[in-house]
A and B are shown apart, each in its own frame.
With several copies, the nearest count.
Chain A
Amino acid sequence: MKKDKKLLKNGKRIDGRGIGDLREMEAEAGVLERADGSGYFRMGDTEAIAAVFGPRELHPKHKQKPQRGILQCRYNLAPFSVEDRKRPGPSRRAKEIGKVAEGALSSTVFLEEFPTATIDVYMEVITADAGTRCVALNAGAIALADAGIPMKGIISACAAGKIEDTPVLDLKGEEDQGGQVDLPIAMNADTGEVTLLQMDGMTNIEEMDEMLELAIKGCEKVAKKQREALMKTF
C-alpha cells in the first residue's frame, strides 16, 4: 500500500466528500428482459447489474431441500471492469464473495415458502472502483424485489473504512488502496440487522464502533435509493 498521497485534508476527502458521505448513487429496477427480476446500482464509478431467476427447480435433484428453498449467488467481475484485464470466470475472491452474498440475502427471503426450489442471483460488476461487493449486493437486492420474491426487508450494503487513522464511509479506489481498514457490511434496513460483515486491516473496538455506525447510516441511505428505484417500476 502506497501512503504517499494525502487522502484527507481539513476533513475533506480527495473527491471533496466529508467523512460520512457516500458517493453519488444511481439505482434502477427492471433493466433486463429475460430475467425474472433485475437491478442496476452505481456508487461513484463502481457499478453492477444483477439478475434473478426463480424460484425454479433446483438441479441436480439431490441438492434439493424438502423443507425450504435455497438462494444461490454468483458474483463476477467483467474482464474489462478492472485496470488490468481479468481472466473470465469467478476467481477465488469472487467465489468467497458469492458465498457471503448468499448469507446476506438468504436471511431476508422467506425461503420456507419455496421447498425444493432455488432462487438464483447473478451479479456482474461492470466497473470496479472499490466497494464492488456492496454495489453488487445492492443491485441484487433490487433484482430480488423486482422479481417479486417475498422478503422481510430490503438488503442494503456499503463499506466503511479507515484512512489516515480516521474512520470514513464508502471508500473509493484510491482511498481503498491507501487505506488501513476495509469494512463492508450489508444490512436489512427494515430490521437493522447486519447480514454481511467482513473486515480487513488492523483496528480496535472503539474504531469498529465508529465505523459500524457510519456504515449503518450509509446503508439506510442506500435503502432509500433502492426503494425509490423500485417505486418507479410500479
Chain B
Amino acid sequence: MMDITEIEEQSALDKIKKGERLDDRGLEDFRDVEVETGVAKKAEGSAEVRLGDTKVIVGVKFGMGEPFPDTPDEGMLMVNAELGPMASPNFESGPPGKDATELARVVDRGIRESEALPLKELCVEEGEKVWKVMVDIHILDYDGNLMDASALGAAKALIEAEIPEYEDGEVKREKTKEFPVNKVPVACTVVKVGDKYILDPSLIEEKIADGMVTVTWTEDELCSLQKRGNGGFTKDELLDIFEIARKKTDGLRKIIE
C-alpha cells in the first residue's frame, strides 16, 4: 500500500507524462514569482523571493576584512545558506549539511564566475583591508526549487545593496553609496521527469525527478552548471537544457532589473 506521499508522487508523475502538472501549470512555467526588496532593514541590501509556497530571504552585509593572500587587491565574496528547521518538518537544527552547502556554493559560483561584482574596486588598502560582501540565504518556507529562488534573491539583494562609506578606520553604515553590479547571473533548474522537462519543480516534483541541471546565465554567457540528483543526460539533452534555461533566465532577469 502506498502512503499519501507516494500517491501524490504517482499523480504528479502521471500528470507530467500527459504534459500536465498537479497545479495546472505548463511544463515550462514557473509558479508566480514575487520579489520584494528592503525586507531586512539592517542589511545593506535584501530581497525576499517567493516561488509559489517557497519563500527565501537573502540579505547582503558589508564588512571590512583582510584579503586572501593570493588576491591582495580584491574584495571577498562569501555566500552562506541556512536550511533552518523553520522551513520544513524534515530540516534539523545544526551546522549546514550537504544540501545547504551545495546551495550556497552554486549561488556563490554563479556570482563569482560571472564576475558580477567589481572585486578590484572593493580593495581599500592592498593586502590589508578589503570589503567582504556577505550574502546570507535564509530559507523560510520550502516547497521546492530553492536554487532558482536563492540565486534570484541573491542577485536582487546585490543589485539593491548600497555600500557603506569607510572613513577614519570605521565602517559608517549611516552613509552609503550605490554598489555597482556588472552582470546579473540568474539560475534556472531544468528537471527531467521521464522524457519530459519541467521547470520550477515543487517539492513533490523534485522527489520524482530523474535528474536536474541548474544552469546559470548572465545576459549573454553561461557561467555555471550543476547537475543534481541521480540519473543522467545525453549531450544532446544537455544542449537543449542550456537553451531552455537561457530563455527562462532572460525572463527572470527582467523581473529583478
- Report which A residues bind B (CB closer than 8 A): 32-35, 45, 49-51, 53, 56, 74, 76, 78-85, 88-89, 92-93, 95-96, 98-100, 103, 106-107, 120, 122, 124, 126-129, 183, 187-188, 191-205, 208-209, 212-213, 216
Contact = CB atoms under 8 A, between A and B. Distances in A.
A202 B60 contact: no
A35 B86 contact: yes
Contacts of B224: 199-200
B59 interface: yes
A106 B229 CA distance: 9
Contacts of A213: 235
B250 interface: no
Interface of B: 39-43, 46, 53, 55, 57, 59-61, 63, 80, 82, 84-89, 93, 95-99, 101-102, 104-105, 109, 112-115, 134, 136, 138, 140-143, 173, 211, 213, 218, 220-235, 238-239, 242-243, 246
A141 to B, nearest CB: 14
A100 B222 CA distance: 20
23 contacts: A34-B53, A34-B88, A34-B142, A45-B41, A51-B87, A78-B40, A79-B59, A81-B59, A89-B95, A92-B105, A95-B98, A95-B101, A99-B99, A100-B227, A103-B227, A124-B86, A192-B234, A195-B231, A195-B232, A198-B227, A200-B112, A208-B239, A212-B235
A79 B55 contact: no
Those 7 A-B pairs whose CB atoms lie nearest each other, nearest first: A80-B59, A193-B232, A199-B225, A197-B227, A85-B61, A80-B43, A33-B53
Contacts of B239: 205, 208-209, 212
Nearest to A99: B98
A100 B138 contact: no
Contacts of B226: 100, 197-199
A3 to B, nearest CB: 14
A25 to B, nearest CB: 16
Given A78-B136, A80-B59, A103 B230 contact: yes
Given A85-B134, A85-B136, A107-B232, A197 B225 contact: yes
A34 B143 contact: yes
Contact of B105 (A53, A96, A107, A194): A96
Nearest to A212: B235
A79 B86 contact: no
A34 B242 contact: no
A204 B221 contact: yes
Contacts of A81: 40, 42-43, 59
Contacts of A79: 59, 61, 80, 134, 136, 138
Given A127-B40, A197-B227, 4 more contacts: A53-B85, A80-B40, A197-B238, A202-B218
B25 to A, nearest CB: 17
A32 B141 contact: yes
Contacts of B82: 88
A49 B53 CA distance: 16
A76 B84 contact: yes
Nearest to A67: B6
A202 B221 contact: yes
A122 B84 contact: yes
A76 B59 CA distance: 15
Contacts of B211: 103, 107
Nearest to B82: A88
Contacts of A188: 232
Given A49-B86, A74-B85, A202 B223 contact: yes
A155 to B, nearest CB: 9
B221 A203 contact: yes
B186 to A, nearest CB: 14
Nearest to B157: A80
A200 B109 contact: yes
